[in-house]
Amino acid sequence: MRYLPLMAQDRTEMLRTIGAKQIDDLFKDVPPEARLEGLIDMPRGQGELEVERALTNMAANNIAAGSVPFFIGAGAYRHHIPASVDHLIQRSEFLTSYTPYQPEISQGTLQYLFEFQTQVALITGMDVANASLYDGSTACGEAVTMAHRITKRRKAILSGSLHPQYQEVVRTLAKYDGFDVSVSADRLSGTESLLELIDQHTSCVVVQVPNFFGTVEDLSKVSQAVHAQGALLVVIVPEIVSLGLIRPPGDFGADIVACEGQSLGVGLNFGGPYLGLFATRQKYVRHMPGRLCGATTDVQGRPGYVLTLSTREQHIRREKATSNICTNSGLCSLAWTIHMTLLGEKGYRQLARLNHQIAVQLADDLSSLKGVELLTPVFFNEFTLRLPRPAGPVVDALAEKGVLGGMPASRLMAHDGAMENLLIVAATETNTQSDIAAFRSALGQVLS
Amino acid sequence: MKTSHMSSVAMETPEEVHMKPTYSGNKALAQEEKLIFELGDMAKTGVDLAEPAPIPSRLAEFERTDPIGLPGLTEPEAVRHYVRLSQTNYSIDTGMYPLGSCTMKHNPRLNEKMARLPGFADIHPLQPQQTVQGALELIDALAEGLKALTGMPAIAMSPRAGAHGELCGIMAIRAALEARGDARKTVLVPESAHGTNPATAAQCGYAVDIIPSSADGRVDVAALKAKLDHDVAAIMLTNPNTCGLFERDIIDVAEAVHAAGALFYCDGANFNALIGKVRPGDLGIDAMHINLHKTFSTPHGGGGPGAGPVVLSSALAPFAPLPYVVHGPDGWRLIENHDEAGDQADDAAPFGRLTAFHGQMGMYVRAYAYMLSHGSDGLRQVAEDAVLSANYVMASLQDVMSAPYAGPCMHEVLFDETFLDGTGISTLDFAKAMIDEGFHPMTMYFPLVVHGAMLIEPTESESKESLDQFIASMRFLVLAAKNGDVKRFKSAPQFAPRARLDETAAARKPVLRWHPN
């Protein structure tokens, strides 16, 4: 087996050193009735060629986003990733190391985490950020439980325009952690119903920017109402490119910001691995979940970095930890920070403007079709259309024509009849003029 | 000048050369690297993007106006920055990385190549399902393989890491207990457990009760049984345990747990010792997470991403969280909501959802490639070689170091710091001296049940030559310690990119981001 360096002769010698007759002597603590005699019922090992063939065949049964006009978002966005990003994250020293428990031989990981934390704090307009969580949805859940620790209240309010699967993640935590969750009746835009729910028992209000339907809206009233009751404002950003163009959550009073970072450096990956970005105000830093990297010096006075404030974490605090999280999303945070460094201020802002401009053009083109209406006039790179008929079958018909044209809102909100005809569409810098023309033409044909 | 410098200039001693500062601060391949905030410029960029067309913005007053302060680097500068950073990291590809409980085995590059096929890497989680049949097939095939290897009837694939899998398992247990109207209050956790175990139980609303260890490094079965009452929801047990030992009474424990109406969670962090040799399902467990980044070698990536699918017994299967993949006459299908789950199986009662989308696809591809490459015979050999290597290290070091528990061990061997008594050298000092010898230290001070723990997990990826070099280096260090060469240990590491770092100062006055001066 090509990955196993021990030779038969080595094994024999090693057993002799140990004083064992055969390998099974080392498994003697396993109860006899649980020892497998033969092999597990699965194929024997295969060579690289055979494995590559099998997996390539499976991959060929999927339609890659890059091979067709592609316009799906809803929490995961297709952006161009510079070639150097993937090259650099495959450096052995990054790829095959682990959590920097020994900082003297992990400065590479620690320094990029320090840079990453700074970049995340800057774009969100917050004081501090951690070294990443699993993804945006779990970061959202962690934000809610952190708000409970800070406010010592246990009643969270979610906006109805928060990504439905993020809502489910929070509701699942609530069921087992024993806190209350209410969801406002707001959908495509507006915060009226959210404002009505806020009271003196509220721990936090969770809003998404841009919201699930693409709307960017004024949250200053929500922020005022939340803080007037001593609660925290949690802002979720699933499309991190948006912060290159729109005002950061820190500007309008966010206390905790949780983002999906996938848009930069990571790719679609059918939903994972992704990375959660998590930022907050300085005064709440000791309530944060996850790893934190901090600056220090070595005994010779040279600057260096270490994991710090670990007394919050499970390996020290055990059942009293801020979270059970152990591993974060290290390699994805590396990809993210490299991509962000390549963009810089100039590239990041230009990328965001480019996304907005292409989406505006697409929204105008599609809503000029008969019976198609743009429901979210203030948006970044994603918007919602009302079609003259149920969006689910329309999307399937578009796929038949070789266009992956948005996501039917009903796929994630099956219970809400008002969603049936709604189509959520995203555009990015990867979409060409011919993609837009193909989408418009295919949608026109399907609807005619 | 042709005159020989050899004869005219006195040579510096190696010690003098080592200590001598250079003008740049660099020392040949050891490059000092500044922060991007010191190197970069807001006007610089490493991407050439199209100019946006002059289309009026729809965002009005929501647009950002102030500068963000993000530095940019051109591609050559960025490549050099990150390559230089990488060169200060130790990795599996650099040398032996025997970090106990973390299973730092070789990461096959085929798996990286496969995960990057556009048919896997460039597909969206919410594409129409008929356009991702190959991806769903792969998830299903991996799930079937994991079920076969563990002898368990069901699996939840979506947890994004081991600790996330623990959350999944304990939630499924609570859902099952509540479904039978039997809410309970306590989860039993051995004192040697990973910190994630008690943290998980607490996060699921349970009180944590600690089971002591017995003198042989296993859970104290009598103490455990004494605690089993109607308030106990579950026990969380790692097997092999964190002392690297197989819990020999595990079947007896499982029977007692079930007899008390509780359920059995097994922490599968150490499954690498058992794969192909023992099926956890035959031990009577109800749930176990599998760290794909350990046993199935998906790269640790400097701290993730991992993946933590959870195998489930038939008692827990109906409560598996959304989403999951099923196979029917029309191909593979994702069950994404409760209605679909109910339509698909009458007894389905998913406890909820742990994450958006479907989990760690990129890790599934790598793990599946690993599974196919090894096959049933190779995986069994993995466990045998991992256990053999750990016992070889134990047998080769136990005369000079101190093993608190008798062998055989499983895939990792535990020493304590008794052998350093009277030397003035601690486990930490010893670990730092290992860095100077070119090794990544073992796990230190865990598990908590022995003093100054040193947990060594060589994995199956080391050749005998490599193991022998490690053993000889360890014996050399032990001898140096016993001979009173305290300086070597207290000043270690001397040859690393940094000497010991001041962690106390870092925690007392945290500097968690760069600020302009």
Q: Measure the CA–CA gap between B61 and B65, rounded to whole angstroms.
A: 9
A129 beta partners: A279
pLDDT tens digits along B82-117: 999 999 999 999 999 999 999 999 999 999 999 999
| Residue B1 banded pLDDT, cuts 50, 70, 90 | very low
- pTM for the structure as a whole: 0.97
B470 vs B434: CA distance, rounded Å: 9
Which pLDDT does position B5 carry in this prediction? 53
| Per-residue confidence (pLDDT) for residue B7, from 0 to 100 | 56
Write the pLDDT tens digit of every residue in A173-195: 999 999 999 999 999 999 999 99
B37 contacts on A by Cβ (under 8 Å)? 115, 118
* Residue B173 and residue B197 in contact, taking contact as beta carbons nearer than 8 Å: no
Name the minimum distance, in Å, from the CA of A357 to any CA of chain B.
Answer: 6
Q: Is A109 exposed, middle or buried (0-12, 13-18, 19+ CB in 10 A)?
A: buried
Cβ distance A239 to A260 under 8 Å? yes
Averaged confidence pLDDT in chain A: 96
CA pair distance B345, B350, nearest whole angstrom: 11
pLDDT of B416 > 90? The answer is yes
Q: Do residues B135 and B325 lie in contact, with contact meaning Cβ atoms separated by under 8 Å?
A: no
Please report, for residues A46, A51, A220, B137, B158, the alpha-carbon distance to residue B374 in angstroms, rounded to integers and kept in the order given: 7, 10, 57, 20, 24
Closest by CA to B289, choosing from B136, B168, B457, is B168
**Do the Cβ atoms of A295 and B506 come within 8 Å?**
yes
What count of other Cβ atoms lies within 10 Å of the Cβ of residue A180? 13
Interchain proximity A357–B55, CB inside 8 Å = yes
Neighbours of B43 (CB within 10 A): 10
List where CATH 3.90.1150.10 sits in chain A.
67-80+344-447
CA B9 to chain A, closest CA, distance in angstroms equals 30
pLDDT digit string (tens) for B11-38? Answer: 777 777 667 788 998 989 989 999 999 9
Chain B residues inside the 8 Å CB shell of A61: 119, 133-135, 137
Segment B258-295, tens digit of pLDDT: 999 999 999 999 999 999 999 999 999 999 999 999 99
pLDDT at B479 over 70: yes
Length of chain A: 448
Q: How far is CA A105 from CA A110, B240, B439, in A?
A: 10, 29, 10
Burial of B105 (0-12, 13-18, 19+ CB in 10 A): buried
Q: Which residue of chain A is at minimal alpha-carbon distance from B379?
A: A45
Find chain A residues with C-beta within 8 A of B368's C-beta: 55
Nearest CA in chain B to A168: B353
CA distance B268 to A285: 32
Region A151-159 average pLDDT: 97
**All structural domains of chain B:** 24-43+71-79 (no CATH), 110-368 (3.40.640.10), 376-504 (3.90.1150.10)
How crowded is residue A417: how many other Cβ atoms within 10 Å of its Cβ?
9
Q: How many Å is the maximal CA-CA distance in chain B?
A: 94
Residues 405-424 of A with CB under 8 A from B: 407, 411-412, 414
**Which of A9, A1, A26 minimizes the C-alpha distance to B377?**
A1
CA of B97 vs chain A CAs: smallest distance (Å): 9
Quick check: B46 and A294 CB within 8 A?
A: no
Is a pLDDT exceeding 70 seen at residue B4? no
What is the Cα B138 distance to its own chain's centre? 23
Contact B507 A291 (CB under 8 A): no
Q: What are the residues whose beta carbons fall under 8 Å from the beta carbon of B328, sequence distance 6 or more?
A: none
With bands split at pLDDT 50, 70 and 90, how would you rate the model's confidence at B6?
low
- Amino acid letter for position B161: A
Task: CATH 3.40.640.10 in chain A: give the residue spans.
Answer: 83-339
Superfamily name and number for A67-80+344-447? Aspartate Aminotransferase, domain 1 (3.90.1150.10)
Q: Report the residue from A61, A302, A345 with minimal CB separation from B72.
A: A345
Q: What is the pLDDT of residues B149-180, one digit of tens each?
A: 999 999 999 999 999 999 999 999 999 999 99
Window 311-330 of B, Cβ < 8 Å to A: 321-322
For residue B108, give the chain A residue with the closest CA. Answer: A3
Q: Do A268 and B199 touch (CB under 8 A)?
A: no
pLDDT for the residue numbered A27? 98
Reply yes or no on whether the pLDDT at B202 is more than 60. yes
DSSP letter for B53, please: P
What ipTM was estimated for this complex? 0.97
Write out pLDDT tens, residues B389-403: 999 999 999 999 999
Confidence of residue A322 (pLDDT cuts 50, 70, 90): confident
Percentage of the residues of chain B whose pLDDT score is greater than 90? 90
Nearest to B199 among A260, A321, A354 (CB): A321
- Taking CA atoms, B398 is separated from A5, B393, B423, B444, in Å, by 24, 8, 18, 17
Task: State the average pLDDT over residues A252-270.
Answer: 98
A contacts of B87 (beta carbons < 8 Å): 93, 108
Is B29 within 8 Å of chain A by CB?
no
Could you give the CA distance from residue B168 to residue A134 in angstroms, rounded to a whole number? 15
Displacement of CA B199 from its chain's centroid (Å): 17
Does the CA dihedral B89-B95-B99-B105 come out positive or negative?
positive
HSE-up of residue A443 (Cα within 13 Å, Cβ side): 34
Alpha carbons B330 and B326: distance in angstroms, whole number: 10
Please give the average per-residue pLDDT across A289-309, as a whole number.
96
Distance CA A89, CA A336 (A): 10
Token digits of residue A101: 């428990």
Residues 36-65 of B with CB under 8 A from A: 36-37, 40-47, 49-53, 55-64
User: SS3 for A324?
Assistant: coil
Question: CA-to-CA distance for A96 and A192, rounded, in angstroms?
Answer: 50
Q: To which residue do tokens 């019922």 refer?
A: A41
Residue A295 has pLDDT above 90, yes or no: yes
Question: What is the DSSP secondary structure assignment for residue A58, as one 8-state letter?
Answer: H
CATH numeric code, A83-339: 3.40.640.10
**Cβ A134 vs Cβ B313: under 8 Å:** no
Test mutation, A13, A96, A219, chain B, max B CBs within 10 A: A96
Letter string b/e over residues B361-383, b meaning 16 or more CB atoms within 10 A of that residue's CB: bbbbbbbbbbbbbbbbbbbbbbb
Size of interface A-B (CB pairs under 8 A): 714
Listed range (A58-67, A111-120, A310-319) with the worst mean pLDDT: A310-319
